[in-house]
Chains A and B, each alone.
Chain A
C-alpha cells in the first residue's frame, strides 16, 4: 500500500487528464479543434462553478446536496416573476432573498443544531424543489423573457470565448484568493481538519459554517443564471438529474478529501478538466447516456474508495500518543 500513499492524487489525475486529452486528440475526429475545445471549456464552466461552492463546503467537512435544487428553483422563480410582469429590481431582490434564506437555514441547522449536513441539505433540496414547483411555478421549464439581460449574457463573447468561461475563471481566482490567503479561508481548512480543535482555539467555526452554506447557495444561483442564459430557459427537471453527482465527482476526483481539510481550487480545476474531456470524448464516440452514467458512477465510486485509502481517518493513523 505504501507506493499508493507516495503517489499524489493530483499528479495521478493530471497524468490521466493529459493521456486522455492526447488519445482523444489523436483518435477522435474533430476533438482537437478550436470549436470543440471551447465547447469543452464552456460545458465544464457551469459544473466547475458549482464545484467551487461544493469544494468550499467539503474542505470544511460538510456537503451540500441542495445546490442543484437551489440553482434551478431560484432562477425558475426569478424568471417566473419577470414573466408575470414584476419589475427587474424587486424580482432579483426576492430571488436573492430566497437563496440567502435557504443557505442560512442549511448553515444554521448544520452548525448550531448539529444535524448532519447530508440530511439537512437533502431535505432542503426536496423542500425547495417541491415548494417552488407546486406553489410558485406551474410548468417544468420557465423561459427567459426575450431581450432580457440573461439572454444577452448567453450570447456574449470575448475573443470568441463565451462569457461563462471568464466568469468561471474569475470565481475560481476569487475562491483561490479567499481559501489560500485570507484568514477566514484558512479557518475553513482548520475547521475541516478538526472542528473541535478549531473551535477551542478560538476560531468562529459555526459562523464560518453558516457563511459557507450561504456562499454555496449564491454560487448555485450564479450557475443557474448561466445555465438559463445559454439555454434561454431553465428546466426544473435538472433537479432530478445526475448533475449533483457530477459536481461531487469533480471535487472528489480532483483530490479534495471527503474527510475535510484538504485540497483547493487547483483540485477543482483538475477535476473539471478531466471530467470535461471525458464527457466530451464520450459524446463524440456516441456512447449512450445510460452507459455514460454507468461509467461516471464507476469512476465516482473508485474515486471515493481511493480517497478513503489516501485520507484514512481511523485510530491506526495516530497511535503515537498512547505508548
Chain B
C-alpha cells in the first residue's frame, strides 16, 4: 500500500540558506510518527511543507502515491492534512464554539445549535473547555485543546501536532495521549513534533530525527532507546555543550543585589510577585507560556503602556523605582531583549548598522543632538565583530538575516546602551543551533563581566545550562528557587506545573 505522504529529496531554503536539505520522509496510515530534533533542526519547516504553509524549494511530495504540491493550507486541509500550530491560530475575539467551526459554518448559523454540538464534541474528546467562552479569556493549555479539537473536527486523515504538550499539565497530557490512541485506532495518521524524548518514545510507532535540516535517522520506535535518540539528535560536541552538566564549581557567586522586587501585580497575569536579582550571575527564570514570566519583566522594564493595576515595589540598586516608559528604565541601565524580535525587537527595513546605532542614540546618556554616519559605522563594526554578526554585505536589511544573526543584532542594540541589568526573554527562540551556542557564550560573558543577567526561557536545557540560580514562575509569581546543583528537569517541571 502506498504511504499517505511520501517526500523525496525535499529541500526548503530561506533566501539561499537551507532549513531542510534532501530529506526523505514517509507517513503510513494509522501510525504515530514522532519528529525529533533540536531547536532549528527543521522539524517545523518539514511539516509546514506537508500542510501547505510553505512550498518546497526542490524535491517531490507524493500524497497517496500521486505527486502533489500544496500551495496554501486550505488545499492541504481539503486533502485531509491538518496542522495544529505551536503559536495558536485561533481568533481571540470569538467563542470556542465559533472557532471550532470556523470556515465550516453552515449558511444559516444558529448560535445555540453551535454551542450544543460543540459541547458534545468537546465532551467526546474529554476536553473540559466551555464552548461559550471567548478564546481570549482562555489559558494557553485550553487554547491548545481547542486547536486540537478543531483539527479532529476537520476529520483530517493526517494531523500534525507541533509541540502539543509543551503547555499541558500532566493530567491534560494523559488525556491528550489517550486521544491520540483513539485517533490512531480510527485510522488517522499523526505526526508529532517534540523535543520531549520520553513522550515520543512512549506514544510513537516510528521516529524520525532531524539535525541541522538533514535526516539523521528514521526507524521503528522499538529500535530506539533514549540514548540512541539523544546521540542522533545531538551528534556533536557543540550541542554537547548545550546539555553539559554543571557542578557546584561552575556556579558564579552572587554579587551585589541589583534588583529587588516586592509584591508586584498586574491583573491576573502577575500576582504578588517577589524576587531578587544579583550582579555577576545569571538568574534563570523558567515558566510555561502564560505563567507571567514575560509580563513580570516587562513591568520592571516599563514596557506596558497601560497597566492601572500596579502594586508593590521595585528597587534597583537600593533606589525605589517605577518605570512608566522604557526610556526611564534604559537610562537607569535596564535593557530588555524581547522574545518577539520581529514585532518589537528590530527595525526590519533598516541595516545592521542602523539597528545597532538606534540603541546608542536612543539612550539618554548620548547627549549629542546630531547623528554621525562615522560613529554609526564604527559602532556597528565594533559590535558586529564582538558578537560575530554575519551578513552578506553591510547594507543587508535585518529581515534578510538568519534568525541567529537577527537575534545578535537585537542583543547588540541593547548592549550598546551599557546596561547594568540585561533581561533576555527567550534568547534563542527561532535561532539556528550553531548560533545558540554563540548567544549562550555572549550571555555567559556578560555575567562574567559582573552584570546582572536574567534569562527567561521555556526551554529547560537552556535554563539548566546557563543559570547560576533558577527561579520557577507559575500563575504570575515566582514559586520556587533552585540552585543548579539541586535542580533536575523533573523538579523544575514539577514546580512549573503544580
Contacts and interface: CB of A to CB of B under 8 A. Distances in A.
B326 interface: yes
B171 interface: no
Contact of B326 (A181, A202, A322): A202
Interface string B395-425: 0000111110010000001100100000000
Contacts of A311: 349
Given A194-B348, A200-B336, A201-B330, A318 B342 contact: yes
B369 A184 contact: yes
B15 A199 contact: no
B14 A320 contact: yes
Given A181-B371, A186-B361, A190-B358, A323 B432 contact: yes
B371 A186 contact: yes
A10 interface: no
Contacts of A42: none
Interface of B: 14-15, 19, 40, 42, 44-45, 54, 301, 303, 305, 325-327, 329-331, 336, 338, 341-350, 358-359, 361-364, 366, 368-371, 399-403, 406, 413-414, 417, 430, 432
Contact of A204 (B327, B346, B350, B406): B327
A182 to B, nearest CB: 6
Q: Which residue, of B42, B326, B327, B362, has the highest number of chain A Cβ atoms within 10 A?
A: B362
Contacts of B348: 193-194, 317-318
Interface of A: 114, 181-187, 189-190, 193-194, 196-204, 206, 261-262, 311, 317-323
Contacts of B399: 317-318, 320
A182 B369 contact: yes
Given A197-B347, A202-B326, A319-B54, 20 more contacts: A183-B366, A183-B368, A186-B358, A193-B348, A197-B338, A198-B362, A199-B326, A200-B338, A201-B326, A201-B330, A201-B359, A201-B414, A202-B329, A202-B330, A202-B362, A261-B347, A320-B406, A321-B341, A321-B342, A323-B14
Contacts of B359: 201
Contact of B349 (A184, A199, A261, A323): A261
Given A183-B369, A321-B406, A321-B430, A200 B344 contact: yes
Given A193-B350, A197-B344, A201-B413, A323 B361 contact: no
**Which 3 A-B pairs rank lowest in CB-CB distance, beginning with the nearest?**
A202-B330, A196-B344, A193-B347
Q: Which residue, of B45, B348, B406, B413, has the highest number of chain A Cβ atoms within 10 A?
A: B348
A185 B368 CA distance: 13
Q: Which residue, of A114, A185, A317, has the highest number of chain B Cβ atoms within 10 A?
A: A317
B342 to A, nearest CB: 6
A202 B349 contact: no
25 contacts: A181-B370, A183-B370, A185-B371, A194-B343, A196-B343, A197-B343, A199-B325, A200-B301, A200-B326, A200-B344, A201-B326, A201-B417, A202-B326, A202-B417, A203-B327, A206-B325, A262-B349, A311-B349, A319-B14, A320-B399, A320-B400, A320-B403, A321-B341, A321-B342, A322-B44
